[in-house]
Amino acid sequence: MAKAQFGNKTPKKPITWSALKQMARMYVHVKPYRGEFLLGLLMLLLSSGSNLAFPKYLGELVDAAQSDPSAIDGIALTLVGLLLAQSVFSFGRIVFFERVAQRSLASLRAAMYNHLVSLPLPFFHEKRIGELTNRLQSDIGVLQETFTSTLAEFIRQVVIIVGGIALLVYQSPSLTGFMLLVLPLVVLLGVFFGSKIRRYAKEVQTASAESNTVVDETLSAVATVKAYTQEGTEKARYRSALERVSALGIRGGILRGAFSSFIILGLFGALVAVIWKGASLIASGEMASGQLFSFVIYSGFIGGSVGGLADVYSRLQRAMGATEAIMAMLDEQPETSGQMPATADTEPTGSTDEAVRFADVHFAYPTRPDVPVLRGLNLILREGQQLALVGSSGAGKSTVVQLLYRFHDPQQGQLLVQGRDAREWPLEALRGRMAWVPQDVVLFGRSILENIRYGRPEASDDDVRRAAEDANAWEFIERFPEGWHTQVGERGVQLSGGQRQRIAIARAMLRDPKLLVLDEATSSLDPESESLVQSALETLMKGRTSLVIAHRLSTVRHADVIAFLHEGEIAEVGSHDELMKLEGGRYRAFVQKQGSGTLTSQ
The per-residue pLDDT for range 541-579, each reduced to its tens digit, is 777 888 888 766 666 777 888 999 888 888 888 888 888
Question: Alpha-carbon distance 32 to 110, whole Å?
Answer: 15
Q: Return phi, psi of residue 508, to 5°.
A: -70, -40
Strand 434-437's sheet: what is its strand order?
Answer: 434-437, 515-519, 545-550, 386-390, 561-566, 569-574
pLDDT at 338: 61
pLDDT at 19: 66
Residue 91 confidence (pLDDT): 92
What angle, 0 to 180 degrees and rounded to 10, lies between the N-to-C axes of helices 289-330 and 17-24?
70
d(CA 573, CA 586): 11
Exposure of 84 by Cβ count < 10 A (0-12 exposed, 13-18 middle, 19+ buried)?
Answer: exposed
Tell me the CATH architecture of domain 8-170+319-333.
Up-down Bundle (1.20)
CA nearest neighbour of 112 among 130, 142, 139 = 139
Threshold 0.75, pTM exceeds: no
DSSP 400-442: HHHHHTTSS--SEEEEEETTEEGGGS-HHHHHHTEEEE-SS--
Cα–Cα distance, 93 to 442 (Å, whole number): 47
Q: What does the pLDDT read at residue 578?
A: 87
Predicted confidence at residue 39, as pLDDT, reads 92
* Residue in 333, 329, 334 with CA at minimum distance from that of residue 112: 329
The Cα-based distances of 90 to 41, 79, 304 in angstroms read: 11, 16, 19
Question: What does the pLDDT read at residue 342?
Answer: 46
What's the pLDDT at 5? 41
Distance CA 359, CA 345 (A): 21
Q: What residues does each domain of the chain span?
A: 8-170+319-333, 173-286, 351-433+551-602
Fold agreement (8-170+319-333, 351-433+551-602): no
Beta strands, E only, 364-512: 374-382, 386-390, 412-417, 420-421, 434-437
Supply angle C-alpha 205, 209, 211, rounded to 5.
Answer: 120
Q: CA 292 to CA 72: how far, in whole Å?
A: 18
Q: Distance from CA of residue 208 to its chain's centroid?
A: 27
Spans of the chain below 50 pLDDT: 1-8, 342-346, 348-351, 596-602
Alpha carbon distance 202, 261 (integer Å): 22
Select the CATH number that applies to the domain covering 351-433+551-602 from these four: 3.20.20.140, 3.30.70.100, 3.40.50.300, 1.10.3720.10.
3.40.50.300
Q: Report helix, strand or coil for 143.
A: helix
Q: Please report the pLDDT score of residue 42 as a whole number.
A: 92
Closest CA to 394 of 381, 366, 375, 378: 375
Cα Rg, the chain, nearest whole Å: 36
CA angle, 384 then 500 then 457, to 5°: 65
